[in-house]
Chain A
Amino acid sequence: MATGIRDKVAIIGMGCSQFGERWNDGPEELMVESFTECLQDAGIEKTDIQAAWFGSCFDEVGVGKSALPASMSLRLPNISVTRVENYCASGTEAFRGAVYAVASGAYDIALAIGVEKLKDIGYGGLPEFSTAMGTLNQLWMANFTAPGGFAMLATSYAAKYGIDMSELKRAMAHVSVKSHANGALNPKAHLRKPVTEEQVLNAPQIAYPLGLFDCCGVSDGSACAIVTTPEIAKSLGKKDLVTVKALQLSLSNGTEFAFDWDGDHFITTSKASSEAYKEAGIKNPRGEISMMEVHDCFSITELVTMEDLHISERGKAPRDVMDGFFDLRGGGVPCQVDGGLKCFGHPIGASGLRMLYEMYLQLHGRAGQRQLKDPKFGLTHNLGGFPFMNVCSVAIIGKQDA
């Protein structure tokens, strides 16, 4: 009988590079930057690491294939390194690999590292992916992009709940305004300028109804974590342990795309979050989750995700957003505390680990101006792909005694 991952693994060190347009650095430098911080934080030697999992998504334009880029860049001591790729959940997948390896007893100490070097392609937005979708799909799939794929969600969500698009756009604008406000407080964030709702609403359109400020930053960056068992962590002298409470993944099977779905929510997120709460022993997420880093690739994604995380009731996320329920000091569940993908940035393979990094800092009281009062559970969420066909990961970490 499976017992879940709760409290079986502790995070003893984390690192995160400066995110942004790192014109003068490649994935090698970015990985070394996050890894150096992480190793120092863990207070162990590189040779103590027994296995590593490495997440990157657009290997075609970034690091290249295999896990060798991580092993070579960090000069890892000829240990096992596995490259994982699962769209935007790649970073969380790397974490999952390392956590499960430790929990299984196969290794004492494992590393999870993610990196993405996106700003070497010569144009804005994510790399064009028509050649990466498979030889059959490239012959028929619509000519879509990431913003377009998610923009569609706004049209069906508005139709389902009979919300006027201008009203929904206002709520979406607030999602971005809140993340910019948080990002401004974060020295490692890519975008650090606060914006107003009017600025968001008046920005050039990218994909109807999404404007420029409804879209997250496309950034370079790396983040990593070192994990071990709580027992070993204690033997290393670690106190106030942050442990893994839940790790869940859910993937589309074609239902949304080809069978039955109103285009109003994420089937996968809904399931992964329910499973995660069960695994973490959380009964009332709206009351128990202290803070969240969700996959706000686009403002509408974050808004709808609030419902699939069972924080907002169906159709009520716009109201919660406008009430400031997700703002840093709004008295609800602060979301995108570090600025989110929107402002911290979105180097895909690093994003899941970057989210965990903020939760980890917050749980240790090291989040500076963004520090929340006595957080217990932090939830992270990634959504790779598109509303109609995606990979969703949900992780919950928290204080060991929570």
Chain B
Amino acid sequence: MAGITSFGGYIPRYRLSRMVIVQNMAWYFPVIMAVAGGEKAVANWDEDSVSMAVAAAYDCMAGHDRKGLDALYFASTTMPFADRLNAGIVAAALNMRENGVSNADFASCMKAGTTAMISALDSVQAGSRKNVLVAASDQRRTKMATMFEMFYGDGAAAVLIGNEDVVADYLGSYSINCDFVDHYRGQTKEFDYGYEERWVRDIGYGKVIPEAISGFLAQSGMKIGDFAKVIYPCYFGGTHKAIAARLGIEKEKAQNNLHAVCGDTGTAHPLVMLVAALEEANPGDKLLVAGFGQGCDVLAFEVTDKIKDMKPRTGIKGSLANRVDLTNYQKFAKFRDLITADLGIRGEANPNTSLTVLWRKRKMLLGLVGVRCKKCGTPQFPVYPTCVNPKCWSVNDFEDYEFSDKEAKILMFTGDMLSPSVDPPAVYGLIAFEGGGRTMFDFTDCDLNQIKVGMKTRMSFRRRQTDNMRGFTGYFWKAVPQVEGGDK
């Protein structure tokens, strides 16, 4: 039976208290005070929808063979490329097979994530694919002092769809598709354009979601009371409750919309909330998940015993626990490029990315794939045709070796105020991987004052450079120092 075979999540580490936004921007638009509670997750300056999707995808693939994937579906409304398969970047970061797979982007709609899940489930049910990874992610920039700025958070989630060792059986789906435009983002625009909230609440969320869920119940013959959790995104707190009341969902069975701890992660949100629900679910629980946007998708699942056998993962719960306050509103504004700060002449250099090199070295640059010498067993990165071990020096006698999932230890590091950085000092260092291999990486998600030689690191796929002149976004891996006991 088709269903979810694994799941993972990623919420970026920075949290911006909404009170900080209010303190800085309420002078301009006092209405934002109405939703000043809680905090929103904010992507670091070097993160975007693709990098967060990669983080969620790795989390989801814990204990699963990435080479076994037949397809990767990436859902987002904030993809860096209008013409270049964004799912292809995620797939390369996962070091997926290239031959015999079919990857796709699902875009332009808040429910693209649930639509991607339905497509994946359909293809697995049809038997045309065995393992399809669905990753949804959004990192929406918002104008300052807007309700969108208050509501939106950044995050990603991923689910693996398959028919072996299923942890949540797929019970079916139902969709409504209609051109209800509560907000939109035109092709050349940076920000969302929203319509009156009262209309969006009453005729949008408040009407479309209940209709879709009722439609599913009518189609399947199931009852709302059958479900342990009903999961639907709606960042209007009152409307979220009103939907539950209208459908007869008991209070504790309506999945929390995460407004207080994370904000609405857009395309990712139905999946983020679903993963959060799965993390707490017990075998036998039935879950109903809805994705809203120009209509509504509804999917139903039943959790199986296999959920107990899953390998530990960070998930939504773990990444929510890994948090640090972003207390500086200007920093948030700079991270999202809402304000202009001077990088200096040193920061002007903007060489184009050699696409021939990127093609030739795609495994290295996107997958962090090095080699292991077949003769002496030394893992190495970067790759030169001659083995780096001075006692070996054999030539071209290598096999691929993945570093992306390896822990490492810091050998030397610095925090550099001279290096042009959006978030100075630029922290970087030389790290040695467990099992062998070492190289120098930029560090991210860290505080220079907490870093020590010998500290553990984990690798994270990040945006390396944004070439605004040509519209190109480049990616590479960075090291994330692991402070024992979390950030202080």
Chain A interface residues (CB < 8 Å from chain B): 121-123, 125, 128, 130-131, 135-136, 138-145, 147-149, 151-153, 155-156, 158-159, 204-210, 253-255, 257-259, 261-263, 387-388
Contact = CB atoms under 8 A, between A and B. Distances in A.
A140 B360 CA distance: 14
Interface stretch (B6-14, B182-190, B327-335, B417-425): B417-425
A334 to B, nearest CB: 30
B173 interface: no
A144 B474 contact: no
B102 to A, nearest CB: 27
Nearest to A254: B388
Contacts of A121: 345
* Candidate in A122, A152, A158, A387 with the most chain B CB atoms within 10 angstroms: A152
Contacts, number: 137
Interface residues of B, number: 50
A152 B388 contact: no
Given A255-B390, A263-B430, A140 B415 contact: no
Interface of B: 344-346, 348-349, 351, 353-354, 357-358, 361, 364-365, 378, 380-382, 384, 388-390, 411-421, 425-426, 428-430, 437-442, 448, 452-454, 464, 474, 476
* Candidate in B382, B389, B416 with the most chain A CB atoms within 10 angstroms: B416
Contacts of A149: 414
Given A145-B416, A151-B414, A258-B439, 13 more contacts: A123-B345, A136-B357, A140-B382, A142-B441, A143-B421, A143-B428, A148-B428, A155-B453, A156-B411, A205-B417, A207-B419, A257-B439, A388-B412
Nearest to B368: A140
A354 B384 CA distance: 36
B381 A258 contact: yes
A258 B388 contact: yes
Given A130-B349, A151-B414, A258-B380, A207 B425 contact: yes
A152 B380 contact: no
B443 to A, nearest CB: 9
B416 A128 contact: no
B414 A208 contact: yes
B64 to A, nearest CB: 27
Nearest to B389: A259
A138 B421 CA distance: 16
Contact of A139 (B345, B357, B453): B357
A159 B454 contact: yes
A387 to B, nearest CB: 8
B351 A130 contact: yes
A118 B149 CA distance: 45
A257 B414 CA distance: 16
A261 B412 CA distance: 11
Going nearest first, the 4 A-B pairs with the smallest beta carbon separation are A148-B416, A156-B412, A159-B453, A152-B412
Contacts of A255: 388, 390
Given A207-B416, A257-B438, A128 B346 contact: yes
Contacts of B419: 143-145, 148, 207
* Candidate in A128, A147, A205, A253 with the most chain B CB atoms within 10 angstroms: A128
B351 A138 contact: yes
A131 B346 CA distance: 12
A259 B388 contact: yes
